[in-house]
Amino acid sequence: MEKTNVIAHFMGFPGKLKDKVMEIVKKTMKIGKDDPRKIWHAAKVGLALSLVSLFYYFRPLYDGFGQSAIWAVLTVVVVFEFTAGATLSKCLNRGFATLLAGALGIGAKYFADLFGKEGEPIVLGFLVFTLGAVGTFTRFFPHMKRKYDYGILIFVLTFSLVTVSGYRVDEILELAHQRLTTILVGAATCMIISLVVCPVWAGEDLHKLVCGNLDKLATFLEGFGSEYFSFSEIEESGKASKEDKGFLQAYKIVLNSKATEETLANFAWWEPGHGSFRLRHPWKQYLKIGVLARECACHLQALTSYFNSNPQAPTEFHKRIEEACTRMSMESSKALKQLASSIKTMTQPPSSAAENHLKNSKTAIDDFKAILATTKTPLLSNKLDLLEIFPAITVASILIDVINCVERISEAVEELSVKAHFKKVKNKESSPSPEKQPQQQLLHRGIVKPVVDDVEGGDDSVVIEICGGTVAAAAEVNSPGGTKGEAQKDRV
């Protein structure tokens, strides 16, 4: 029986291997299709490795550098990253750290020679301990860890290697020169290829990430506003479909984007000016917008718990606040979409549409407060259970917090547009001519009120209020008695 199982296992092995290979091929094709830049990155790394390998393949180069040529290959493998900013960060950190540590290592070697053969290892050991401890402790500083952590690590490593190996090697200057040269060559090769051949900019990825996060928040609010307050009606009609509520998951990506944003902002700081992004682009402002976006996403997370539960508010109260709350949700969604579009296109419109949507949402807040003010007395008189209306009131309260958060996001985007010198879009709407403007104002400010005055003869008149005055238009109407009344004169 066991023999049969073993034979069956080996007989089915080719089929399983084929299925596994096909699965790997499909995953590979999907990764390449989702982001073709990853294919280019792999090709760029291969090109850089091929170029630095020439130090071994060509005899003249190998004679000049010897076994130290391997440091160029190691440098390419270690420092070549996906984005240009990450590659530049590692290359510059490694280059300067190697140069400084090499110089200090050589200086430490000659300084230890002054203490003779017996005192030299003691002095070298003390220097290695001191600089190693100080360098390691420096990595705990937030600013140093964020930008120079890799450089400090390479500094400690290079200083220790040069100092320790120099104790047994007589030609330490030549050794340090060869290693430093090959490392710099490898780093320079990576930087040139990363910047010239299909560069991937960390700043551009950060820019798109922030825009996408605002769009995701807007998508949630748009779906929530049109679904929550009609949930009970849909439930009764049997048309509710929880599978169509994909917008509820949109905010979760925003909550988990902090680490990615900070990493991209750090790498973008190292990048040169490119495209619409200048040399000193305000990348920190993107982090500020990201913090506010995550704060808004936290409020949206609180809303999901109320969406998944059936609202228990009285039907009358639920319908009364439905319009105001839906407007709050929809207008804040439109404001976020406008802000995301402004960042994406890097434009600064003369009169932001986001401000208009925020004003509309604040008007909806005032309407909601007015509804609450008129609802208090009936509730108390009818002795309704206040716990039944708390969920709906809580949802409205969270929406108010969301609007306040969107307002702060709008201010942060406005600050970004100023610091980043976004282009101003000219208002294409032509202003009305001076001749037509008074007439238009007159038409808008006039109010027509049909009234019936109890005057002799029962004459009807039409009263028109203009700028606080009253004009009775002349009109000939039938009196109740069947005779025609005379038209009244204009009254101002």
Token digits of residue 488: 């009244």
Terminal Cα-to-Cα distance of the chain (whole angstroms): 113
> Look-up: residue for tokens 């909601």?
368
71: which residues sit within 8 A by CB, 6+ positions away?
179, 182, 183, 186
For residues 167-187, give the mean pLDDT: 79
- For the chain, what are the domain ranges? 35-196, 202-230+247-420
Q: Provide the pLDDT for residue 9.
A: 65
Half-sphere exposure of 32 (CA within 13 A, CB side): 10
> pLDDT tens for residues 125-171?
999 999 999 999 999 999 899 889 999 999 999 999 888 877 666 67
> pLDDT tens for residues 329-362?
899 999 999 999 999 989 876 556 778 888 888 8
- State the Cα–Cα distance between residues 39 and 9, nearest whole angstrom: 37
- State the Cα–Cα distance between residues 424 and 482, nearest whole angstrom: 67
Q: Provide the pLDDT for residue 490.
A: 41
- State the Cα–Cα distance between residues 251 and 299, nearest whole angstrom: 10
What's the per-residue H, E or C state across the chain? CHHHHHHHHHHHHHHHHHHHHHHHHHHHHHHHHHCCHHHHHHHHHHHHHHHHCHHHHCHHHHHHHHHHHHHHHHHHHHHCCCCHHHHHHHHHHHHHHHHHHHHHHHHHHHHHHCCHHHHHHHHHHHHHHHHHHHHHHHCCCHHHHHHHHHHHHHHHHHHHHHHHHCCCCCCHHHHHHHHHHHHHHHHHHHHHHHHHCCCCCHHHHHHHHHHHHHHHHHHHHHHHHHHHHHHHHHHHHCCCCHHHCHHHHHHHHHHCCHHHHHHHHHHHHHCCCECCECCCCCHHHHHHHHHHHHHHHHHHHHHHHHHCCCCCCCHHHHHHHHHHHHHHHHHHHHHHHHHHHHHHHCEECCCCHHHHHHHHHHHHHHHHHHHHHHHHHHHHHHCCCHHHCHHHHHHHHHHHHHHHHHHHHHHHHHHHHHHCCCEECCCCCCCCCCCCHHHHHHHHHCEEEEEECCCHHHCEEEEEEECCEEEEECCCCECCCCCECCCCCCCC
Token digits of residue 248: 């509820």
pLDDT at 486 > cutoff 60 = no
Q: Provide the pLDDT for residue 34.
A: 87
Highest mean pLDDT among 168-177, 404-413, 476-485: 404-413
Q: Compare 338 and 462 and report the one with higher pLDDT.
A: 338
* pLDDT category of residue 100 using cuts at 50, 70 and 90: very high
The predicted model scores a pTM of: 0.77
Supply the Cα-derived Rg of the chain in whole angstroms.
37
- In this structure, the number of other CB atoms found within 10 A of the CB of residue 201 comes to 20
Q: Compare 221 and 431 and report the one with higher pLDDT.
A: 221
Tell me the Ramachandran region of residue 432: left when phi exceeds 0, alpha when psi lies from -120 to 50, beta otherwise: beta
For residues 176-195, give the mean pLDDT: 89
- State the Cα–Cα distance between residues 184 and 190, nearest whole angstrom: 10
Q: Provide the pLDDT for residue 177.
A: 81
For residues 360-388, give the mean pLDDT: 70
> Look-up: residue for tokens 């929880």?
242
pLDDT at 243 > cutoff 80 = no
For residues 51-60, give the mean pLDDT: 83
Q: Which amino acid is at 149?
A: D
Q: Report the percent of the chain where pLDDT is more than 70.
A: 73
For residues 397-415, give the mean pLDDT: 92
Q: Provide the pLDDT for residue 65.
A: 72
475-490 b/e with 16+ CB inside 10 Å = b?
A: eebeeeeeeebeebee
- State the Cα–Cα distance between residues 376 and 369, nearest whole angstrom: 11
Closest CA to 316 of 232, 223, 221, 222: 232
For residues 222-241, give the mean pLDDT: 58
| Least reliable range by pLDDT among 56-70, 131-145, 401-415, 434-448 | 434-448
pLDDT at 474 > cutoff 50 = no
Q: Provide the pLDDT for residue 426.
A: 63
Q: Report the DSSP pairing between strands 460-466 and 447-452.
A: antiparallel
Q: Provide the pLDDT for residue 223.
A: 83
For residues 50-58, give the mean pLDDT: 86
* pLDDT category of residue 40 using cuts at 50, 70 and 90: very high
Q: Provide the pLDDT for residue 28.
A: 86
* pLDDT category of residue 244 using cuts at 50, 70 and 90: low
How does the average pLDDT of the chain come out, rounded?
78
Q: Provide the pLDDT for residue 472.
A: 40
17, with CB counted inside 10 A (0-12, 13-18, 19+), is exposed
* pLDDT category of residue 68 using cuts at 50, 70 and 90: confident
| Least reliable range by pLDDT among 73-77, 401-405, 446-450 | 446-450
- State the Cα–Cα distance between residues 64 and 72, nearest whole angstrom: 14
Q: Provide the pLDDT for residue 463.
A: 45
* pLDDT category of residue 315 using cuts at 50, 70 and 90: low
Q: Provide the pLDDT for residue 361.
A: 87
pLDDT at 63 > cutoff 50 = yes
CATH of span 202-230+247-420: 1.20.58
User: Cα 50 to chain center, whole Å?
Assistant: 37
pLDDT at 239 > cutoff 50 = no
Q: Compare 442 and 245 and report the one with higher pLDDT.
A: 245
pLDDT at 292 > cutoff 90 = yes
Token digits of residue 239: 């048309």
CB 213 within 8 A of CB 260: no
**Residue 444 β-bridge partners:** none
Q: Provide the pLDDT for residue 469.
A: 43
* pLDDT category of residue 175 using cuts at 50, 70 and 90: confident
User: Cα 95 to chain center, whole Å?
Assistant: 32
Q: Provide the pLDDT for residue 153.
A: 94
| Least reliable range by pLDDT among 157-166, 170-179, 404-413, 476-485 | 476-485
* pLDDT category of residue 274 using cuts at 50, 70 and 90: confident
Q: Compare 164 and 290 and report the one with higher pLDDT.
A: 290
Q: Compare 86 and 276 and report the one with higher pLDDT.
A: 86
Token digits of residue 70: 């391997």
- State the Cα–Cα distance between residues 333 and 217, nearest whole angstrom: 7
Q: Provide the pLDDT for residue 83.
A: 94
